[in-house]
Chain A
Amino acid sequence: MEELLPLQSHAAEALQPFDERVIAFLDRLSHAVLKDPSLNRIAEFASLGFWLRKANISKYVNENNHLIQNKNFVTAPAGIVFHVCPSNVDTMFMYSLAISLLMGNRNLLRVSGRQGSPHLDTLFDVINTVMRNEENKLFSECISIFTYEHDHDISSFFSLHANVRVIWGGDSTIEVFKKIPVSPRTKDIVFADRVSYALFMSKEYALLSEEGKNGLAHSFYNDSYSFNQKGCSCPQTIFTVGSKADNEAFEKNFYERLKNVVVKKYDADIMSLASLKLNRLADDATAGKISQVMDSDNRVVFARLNDGADASGTCGGGLFYIRSLENLADLLSWIHPKVQTVSYFGLKQDDIHELVKLSSGKGIDRLVPIGKALDFHYLWDGYNLFDELCIKRSVI
């Protein structure tokens, strides 16, 4: 299996953190993705294309200047990074790979064999075409992407040779990989199961124009339905903040607007979805988790969450728990370390500061406007991935 490992590059060619050659390579990938007619019309791939552009990457390099212009240490690549990529988000492995390449690492990627997504195959073709180019030849030695069903031997072999393992895929995947022996110095960066919320200030919503309200519903749709509401950043629970009357008015109004978007855009097997949701609602009702259901369309279901109930556990496909709060500070009783993203509408700068301060040490890794819940960022689940994927050498 040795030949599967990415080659040790010749010293002269070895990549350094934030190497210009990597930035140029990612930019060429960006062009190729954005030029491909079957990929560039899909939001997920278009986002990836824009993310890889030189202008964007340069911004991230600047933001992480502490890694290259530091008096106290010199940064070097971590070595071989083994990425275990999530199966539901086709493009996720590319972000993981791009950041690791930017730190100069050689990469092994396991992309789930169950994906069978035609777009993913197109993306592989695009990557291969770019890599065949003479000027990018160096990169074929730094990137090995594998598609295989869960195979203990292959995963063990890769784990044993990895300096860092990046394990996407939640608790169950982490559990599998924690059992696989690694070298004592191998570092694991793990992305566990998380829950995300959406937060609406109902009075501010009422002040929006028709266009503004529809736009918000659209943004919320993208956050929630892009991955059938099953991405870890997709909101599972909607919190409304305001007077009882304002919150109720918000719920009715927003439900209808969201429904309008969903009816036009969401493509789901409605027979399965209807059964799936009724099953979950019946379980939740029986368990005392919910008290009331708004569901004039099975593709959009709002279920009112009871006191103290778990705000996670949606079956996906547009089942949102909903909870009315009087004050922003009331959100705190729902914040715990599993809370990842809170996407918000109507928070003022002061509110944001207040919420950040109050929730510090309790939970919330990302606080972003509605519509940005799925945007990939190098700061994820509390890690700065650039920082994690390099080593710092002390030179005095």
Chain B
Amino acid sequence: MVIEDYIQIPPYSLARAEKEPSMVVLLNELHALHVDRCDAYRKVSEVIFGGIKKISSSDQLPFIPVSMFKTHELKSIADGSVYKVLTSSGTTGSIPSRIFLDQQTASLQSLALSKIMTHMLGNSRLPMLIIDSQSVLKDRNTFSARGAGILGMSIFGKNHTYLLDDAFEIDMGALEKFAEQFNGQKMLLFGFTFMVWKYLFEQSGIALDLSKAILIHSGGWKKMNELAVDNDVFKSELNKKFGLQHVYNFYGMVEQVGSVYIENEKGFLHCPNFSDIIIRNPVDFSVQKNGEEGLIQVISALPRSYPGHSILTEDIGVCMGEDDLSWKGKYFRILGRAKKADLRGCSDTFAQSA
């Protein structure tokens, strides 16, 4: 099976017995392709993973640490074939990840995302309120993850309205116009978790009936945890204030655009057919059982222009189950992020403060 056909299968329809053989074929092809075309991937795979040629199960696939996308230009295509470069927005002062896409990978990613989103939203485009400012899209040369997320989602909506103006103030005019037309109707809300909380929930003066709206949000819980807001509080507060009933968090990263993990009926993040996660024991990188926490390895059958098909993230998670819900596939929960190790040497009395 080729990836173009595999993506067409309804995204949560395959149980392990059907998914695994297809994934092994697709991943073997990707592994060989990246070993052949990406020097860094080949070296990591040879030195750290014993130069495995062919995998017989997906947990044998080498993985590269997510930070490598910051420190290396990882490409499996010629420079001339680069169609766009995605960068992570990152925190201030940190080096951003750079992801090199050719047209094929970019279109596989859009297709994958659209399979997941149409599963959630249906086939018709919904009026869309974006909880952000259009200014994050201004620099078209390098798409930040935030901008890429908004653009990627925009194709599932119509009558796109940005809640914030360029100064990050509520754009009351635009909001009123949107509300006049669509209040109480089925609509799509999209934004980063923290932005939704800060600009939609915490603002006074926004009176919307969102009882039929679908909110899709992402971006991590770090800032939210500082405010002592977890997913349950987030959902119940939005429900109280706006009557919002359909709220879906998703986990995704610029290193694997398209292969997103969206919240399922139980509130856990769910793997679609073309992605998988493996929870790795931090002691020896062995596979953790369901219920045991570890570092999250994310696997995607999509990336061809760069070796991003198997990445060890610095996120800590736990697999909650597999194939026992209406959606097939593994589902998991994120517990946090590994702290940056601070092993201080003799040589740093002033290194950090100087």
Contacts and interface: CB of A to CB of B under 8 A. Distances in A.
Nearest to B344: A88
B346 A191 contact: yes
A173 interface: yes
A298 B352 CA distance: 27
A282 B341 contact: no
Contacts of B339: 269, 271-272
Interface string B324-354: 0000000000000011110111111111111
A271 B336 CA distance: 11
Interface in B21-71: 39-40, 43-44, 46-48, 64-65, 67-68, 71
Contact of B349 (A173, A271, A288): A173
Given A271-B339, A317-B343, A297 B284 contact: yes
A230 B345 CA distance: 4
Interface in A108-163: 112, 114, 149-150
Contacts of B40: 282, 286
Nearest to B293: A271
Given A298-B282, A298-B283, A299-B283, A281 B347 contact: no
Interface stretch (A9-17, A79-87, A213-221): A79-87
Contact of B284 (A272, A296, A317): A296
Interface in B244-295: 280, 282-285, 295
A114 B342 CA distance: 12
B20 interface: no
Contact of B350 (A169, A230, A273, A275): A169
Contacts of A296: 284
A33 interface: no
Contact of B67 (A88, A274, A279): A279
Nearest to A306: B47
A316 B345 CA distance: 9
A300 to B, nearest CB: 10
Interface in A230-266: 230-232
Nearest to B47: A285
A196 to B, nearest CB: 10
Interface string A284-326: 1110101111011111000000000000000111000000000
Given A85-B349, A286-B40, A275 B65 contact: yes
A230 B344 contact: yes
Interface residues of A, number: 56
A115 B354 CA distance: 16
A89 interface: yes
B46 A232 contact: no
B159 to A, nearest CB: 43
B282 A172 contact: no
A176 interface: yes
Contacts of B48: 278, 281-282, 285, 293
B346 A231 contact: yes
Contact of A172 (B338, B340, B344, B347): B347
A332 interface: no
A193 interface: yes
Contact of A315 (B72, B280, B282, B343): B343
B316 interface: yes
B222 to A, nearest CB: 15
A296 B354 CA distance: 38
A354 interface: no
Given A86-B349, A272-B338, A298-B282, A282 B344 contact: no
B314 interface: yes
B350 A291 contact: no
B346 A273 contact: no
Most buried by A among B43, B65, B283, B341: B341
Contacts of B347: 169-173, 193, 232
A172 B343 contact: no
B68 to A, nearest CB: 5
B348 A88 contact: yes
A379 interface: no
A114 B344 CA distance: 11
A170 B344 CA distance: 12
Contact of B338 (A191, A230, A275, A295): A275
A89 B349 CA distance: 10
B312 interface: yes
Given A172-B350, A232-B345, 17 more contacts: A86-B349, A88-B345, A114-B352, A149-B353, A172-B351, A191-B346, A193-B347, A272-B338, A275-B65, A275-B341, A276-B341, A282-B64, A285-B44, A285-B46, A288-B43, A292-B47, A299-B283
5 contacts: A169-B350, A231-B345, A278-B65, A285-B44, A299-B283
